[in-house]
Structure 1
Amino acid sequence: MRLPSKETSGSAPPPLDATPARALGDFIRAHRERLSPMAVGLPPGPRRRTPGLRREEVAQLCGVSPTWYTWIEQGRPVSASADALARIAVALQLSRAERAYLFELAAQRDPAEPDPAAQDAPAALLQTVALIDAPAYVLDRQWNALRWNAQAASLFVGWLDGEHDRNLLTYMFTMPQAVQLVVDWETRARRLVAEFRADSIRHLNDAPTRALIDGLTSASDAFARFWASQDVGEREGGERAFNHPVHGRLVFDQITFKPAHREDLKLVILVGQS
């Protein structure tokens, strides 16, 4: 089932990134085109043929050759050091999530980030859900719900109640109940895709992740459009409003926790507003 979207097009969505080098180039180009000269202290100059900064301007800001930078954007298999990537991230004024995504695309470790630890203890996290007196659930790296409590099942009609696909993105983009339940569905759906892009880069080539992305791209015009936008965002909390079919309008504050040493898992809690 395809959910309605505000924008329609007769052309097929662009294919998923074919190679890591091409994905890196597409990501850098998209963010270069969004950055104005004035934002980096450059004069606007004469009329520009393309949006945002020129490649030569970014190369100058990064202290690299224009040819090397052009090859990076074109997806050529050139070597990019962690130091060069860090300078690109600063020049393009990338957010923390966007910077992390850049380094994952390049298969490089950000020198500003500590080494991840390897300890794993998910059982305690799953057991915690039943102890919470509010809608709560745990997501895995593909955003499948691993555990949820009765309050969450009551809230998320069509996802955590009954027999349904437990993937949050599949629910959001293929189930009509989600459009009816989630207030301002378009904004929330776009944000979810940006958050998942940031999450999925560490395991983008894993078969389950690729299958999920490919399936949603085929099943949902909205997902394909949002995924192609190259937006990246951290999973944030804040107000979440729902139009529940039984209880009417419900408003919560969402809090998301990541267990130490297992950032691919998430404990999400919705605290009701008084």
Structure 2
Amino acid sequence: MSGAARRDELGSFLRARRRATDPVTAGFRPGPRRRTPGLRREELAQLSGLSVTWYTWIEQGRDIGVSRQVIESLARALRLAPAERAHLLTLAGLALPPVAPPSRTVDPLLRRLVRELHPRPAYVMNPWWDLLAYNEAYAELLGGLGGLGGLDQRPEGERNVLWITFVESRGSGLFVDWPGEARALVGQFRMALGRHPDDPRGPELLDSLRRASDVFGELWEEQTVSGFTSARKELRHLRDGRRLDLDYLKLADARNEQQSLIVFLPAE
């Protein structure tokens, strides 16, 4: 993102979190009926120790310097979760320097590991959920993709977990709690965009998803941010309808931190 786009995103994110914050929980007494939900600008400014004018400029995306102390004060006032706080710092240009755009080349030994994990579904992805390597068990789990050959023949931009989840009907049928899974994916994607501002694949994927999926667009406007957590997933096998309880694990490649190995294990 450019500097202007980052500032706009910072303002949008603050506005969304402000409107989602309960004034009573934040310490304000119930008063006359409010025209809009959440905190007023002056209330958040007060909680953060800022002038109303200065906070308004931040929310409006003005080209002004914002210190770490100011962002930390806003994060505390809004009671942001760790992932949301990290995203706020990233948007303010205060996180770690961006890393180089991720490579799509997968180490041959990692590819072999993915194959050897069969019959456990497994795949390797980059920060944009592009499927860089996968085994037959994962292709079978998706169902209707024609196995490995079906995945291999798809356009590169559509060999992507986000694309399959939001654009194809099989995405909504795979997870029992599809709304929860979809919202979490969007939140993680938003964080990835902040961490890799110089990689054109992120904005390209965002634009494609917004044009192809109304549901994605609606969730994107919620300004949700979330980090990855290993968890138990409830899935439906798309070929025979069986319900599957699988533990979902993500492992980073020590030699390429921008690639991750995802493995589904039978729940115990």
TM-score normalized with structure 2 length: 0.84
Greater length-normalized contact order (CA 8 Å, ≥ 6 residues apart): 1
Q: 2:74 aligned with 1:88, yes or no?
A: yes
Q: Aligned AA for 1:91?
A: A
Match of 2:56 in 1: 70
Q: Residues 251 and 67 of structure 1: is their aligned pair in 2 closer, same or farther, counting only changes over 3 Å? A: same
1:172-221 deviation digits (Å, cap 9, x = unpaired)? 11212222333232332222111211222122453211111101101111
Match of 1:213 in 2: 206
Match of 1:50 in 2: 36
Instruction: Kindly state the Cα deviation for residue 266 of structure 1 after the two structures are TM-superposed.
Output: 2.1
Instruction: Kindly state the Cα deviation for residue 127 of structure 1 after the two structures are TM-superposed.
Output: 4.5
Name stretches of at least 5 consecutive residues in structure 1 with no aligned partner.
1-16
Q: 2:252 aligned with 1:258, yes or no?
A: yes
2: distance between equivalents of 1:220 and 1:23? 21
Match of 1:148 in 2: 134
Instruction: Kindly state the Cα deviation for residue 78 of structure 1 after the two structures are TM-superposed.
Output: 1.4
Name stretches of at least 5 consecutive residues in structure 2 with no aligned partner.
none
CA contact (8 A) 1:116 1:261 kept: no
Number of equivalences? 253
Match of 2:113 in 1: 128
1:220-248 deviation digits (Å, cap 9, x = unpaired)? 11111111111111122222122211362
SS at match of 2:30: coil
1: distance between equivalents of 2:225 and 2:259? 18
Match of 2:183 in 1: 190
Question: Aligned residues: percent identity?
Answer: 39
1:96-175 matches, within 5 Å, as 96-109=82-95, 123=107, 125-133=110-118, 134-158=120-144, 161=148, 162=150, 163-164=153-154, 165-175=158-168
Instruction: Kindly state the Cα deviation for residue 48 of structure 1 after the two structures are TM-superposed.
Output: 2.0
TM-score normalized with structure 1 length: 0.82
Query: 4+ residue stretches of structure 1 with deviation over 4 A?
Result: 115-118, 124-127, 260-263
- Measured on the aligned residues, the alpha-carbon RMSD in Å equals 2.7
Match of 2:242 in 1: 248
2: distance between equivalents of 1:103 and 1:262? 24
Match of 1:3 in 2: none
